[in-house]
Amino acid sequence: MWAARRMASTISASSPALTFELVARCSTTRARASVLTLPHGPVPLPIFMPVATQASLKGLTPEQLEGTGCRLCLNNTYHLGLKPGQEVLDAVGGAHKLQGWKHNILTDSGGFQMVSLLKLANITEQGVRFLSPHDGTPMLLTPEHSISLQNSIGSDIIMQLDDVLVTTSPDKARMREAMERSVRWLDRCIAAHKHPDRQNLFCIIQGGLDLDMRRECCREMLARDTPGIAIGGLSGGEAKDDFCKVVAACTELLPDLKPRYVMGIGYPEDLVVSVALGADMFDCVWPTRTARFGNAITKHGVLNMKRELYAADFGPIEDGCGCPCCRPAEEEGAMGITRAFVHHNAAKETVAAHLLTLHNVWYQLSLMRQAREAIIADRFPDFVREFFRNLYPERSSYPAWAVTALKGVGIDLLET
């Protein structure tokens, strides 16, 4: 089913609803630049995917989101299952049509929300049992339900239902059970999937922080030959060192010609390190959520626009940023937004949240664009060094986990 072919400089592979083309590889690290072609168009990788939970990216119009260069965003199955619900999705003709989004959508399985939102979820072989948050009625989400919903949503990438467990759980037996169950559930998801010709089902590698279990899971999942692979269960409060080890252990085993998605990752330094470790796709609500708390992500760190410091600061949110907020007002399509204006309306008018959301999404996408360009030009290690130089004024304050993880793939951040 996987047809790999070598061309002059690129190699690619395709499955019924996806083509993965490896454009370049970093000669030092495991970083890769590629093009993922999905039913709604090509997506350059590595990529950050902003999260439009309820079919809307927190106040941005689909047109504004498109303007940031975003070609693949997330919707959450759990939320769309509640509102507007499967019947409406079927009647409207899927999530693309619902939200007027011409580009690609990825949906999660809904399992993570069951665990993160509903503390009383109970996982059995059948599926995730949980008490309705409203009246305590017992409910059940099975792999078949999840896939059926995702088929109705019509997303370009759909995720298997997995047995999510906090990575820090000390219960080894339970962790193994979760990993093995995730594999069994993948089989049920594949069987239930009605549109493999236009929707790509990705598997999710589980196994907590136990690298051997992760490797075992990789082998099992790879045997099922899904069009893409996700590394799940991370970003749940584990140490960053452990996180990096898991990503590195998985990417080592994964085939070159499939996209690799690390779920729930979003801090800029996490993205840069994960790209160095060989991951391609990331999603996180943090950039858009923090925008609503008045925070702007910049290459020098996160700035809280609500601070008095910015009340009379008439510079852009970030100097040199290319987003529609920050570019000078004289430029075509630019707004000429100042920090003072964001400060003036932060937490008072929704517009301030929209502007920071726009800026932060732009920042994340642009960071990944720059990483991609650096990989293609084979100067990715320099890009990583510059990124950390901008973020931390002192070399001594570089986070140890990042230094260690990068050293493992051939970049010495502390080298002079």
Partner 1 sequence: MTVDIPDGDQEAMRFEILGSVLKDGAAARLGRLTLPGRRPIDTPNFVGVTSRGVLPHLTPDNVSKHLQVSSAYMALEDFIEKPQQYSKRVPPIFSTPTTTKQGTPLHSFTAMPPSVTTILSARRLPAVPPPNGNTNDSISVFTSTGFQVLPTKEYLSAVQTLKPDIAIPPADLTHGPVAPNSKRALRMAERTDEWVVEWFSSLSRSSSSPQSTFAPVLPISHSIQWEYLARLAEDYLPSSQLHGLAFYDADVLPDIAAHTPSLVQLPLLSLLASQIQSQTQTPHHILRQISLGIDLFAIPFVNAASDAGLALTFRFPPPPHTTTTNGPLLPLATDLSLPESNNTTSLAPLAEDCTCYTCTSHHRAYVHHLLSAREMLGWTLLQVHNHAVMAAFFAGVRAALAEVEGGNDKFEVLRKEFALAYEPDFPEGMAQRPRARGYQYKSAGGGEGKRNKPAWGKLGGAGVDVDGNGEAGISRGGAEETTGGMANGEGAYARDLEGRGFAQVQN
Known binding residue 108? Answer is yes
Q: Please say which residue, 334 or 376, places its beta carbon nearer to partner 1.
A: 334
Quick check: 319 binds partner 1 (CB under 8 A)? Answer: no
136: exposed, middle or buried (Cβ count in 10 Å: 0-12, 13-18, 19+): exposed
Residue 182 annotated as part of some ligand binding site: no
CB of residue 132 to partner 1, shortest distance in Å: 3
Which contacts (CB < 8 Å, 24+ apart) does range 304-312 have? 305/339, 305/342, 305/343, 305/346, 305/352, 305/356, 306/343, 306/346, 306/347, 307/343, 310/339, 310/340, 310/342, 310/343, 311/340, 311/343, 311/344, 312/340
Binding mask 37-76 for partner 1 (x = CB under 8 A): --------------xxxxxxxxxxxxxx-----------x
Q: Does 365 bind partner 1 (CB under 8 A)?
A: no
326 is in an annotated binding site: yes
Sequence-separated (6 or more) residues with CB below 8 Å from residue 102: 40, 41, 62, 66, 96
Assess 320 for contact with partner 1 (CB under 8 A).
Answer: no
Question: Residue 180, SS3?
Answer: helix
Using CB under 8 A, pick the residue from 25, 71, 72, 78 that binds partner 1: 78
Residue 300: CB atoms within 10 A of its CB come to: 12
Stretch that binds partner 1, among 95-103, 212-220, 374-382, 399-407 (CB under 8 A): 95-103
Question: Which residue is catalytic, options 156, 163, 270, 283?
Answer: 283
Q: Which one-letter amino acid corresponds to residue 381?
A: P
Indicate whether 348 belongs to the interface with partner 1 (CB under 8 A): yes
206 appears as a binding residue in the annotation: yes
Compare residues 154 and 381 and give the one whose CB is closer to partner 1.
Answer: 154
Q: In the range 232-261, which residues lie near partner 1 by CB under 8 A?
A: 234-237
Element (H, E) at 294: none
Listed in sequence order, the residues at least 6 apart from 165 whose beta carbon sits closer than 8 Å to its beta carbon are: 174, 175, 178, 206, 208, 233
Q: Are strands 18-25 and 11-15 parallel, antiparallel or unpaired?
A: antiparallel
120 is a contact residue toward partner 1 (CB under 8 A): no
Answer yes or no: is 189 a known binding residue: no
> By CB under 8 A, which span of 19-27, 187-195, 229-237, 247-255 interacts with partner 1?
229-237
Determine whether 283 is an active site residue.
Answer: yes
The single residue among 20, 48, 112, 363 that binds partner 1, judged by CB under 8 A, is 112
Q: How far is CA 34 from CA 6, 45, 406, in A?
A: 14, 5, 21
Residues in region 257-316 near partner 1 by CB under 8 A: 263-264, 266, 284-286, 288-289, 292, 308, 311-312, 314
- The reply to whether 108 belongs to the active site is yes
Query: Of residues 358, 371, 402, 406, which one binds partner 1 by CB under 8 A?
Result: 358
Which pair of structure tokens corresponds to residue 383? 């890009």
Q: What is the rounded distance in angstroms from the CA atom of residue 189 to the CA atom of residue 336?
A: 48
**Number of residues near partner 1 (by CB under 8 A):** 93
Residue 338 sits in the site that holds partner 1 (CB under 8 A) = yes
Contact status, residue 18 vs residue 12, Cβ threshold 8 Å:
no
Selected from 17, 49, 98, 273, the binder of partner 1 by CB under 8 A is: 98
Binding site: which residues? 108-112, 162, 206, 233, 321, 323, 326, 359
Catalytic residues: 108, 283
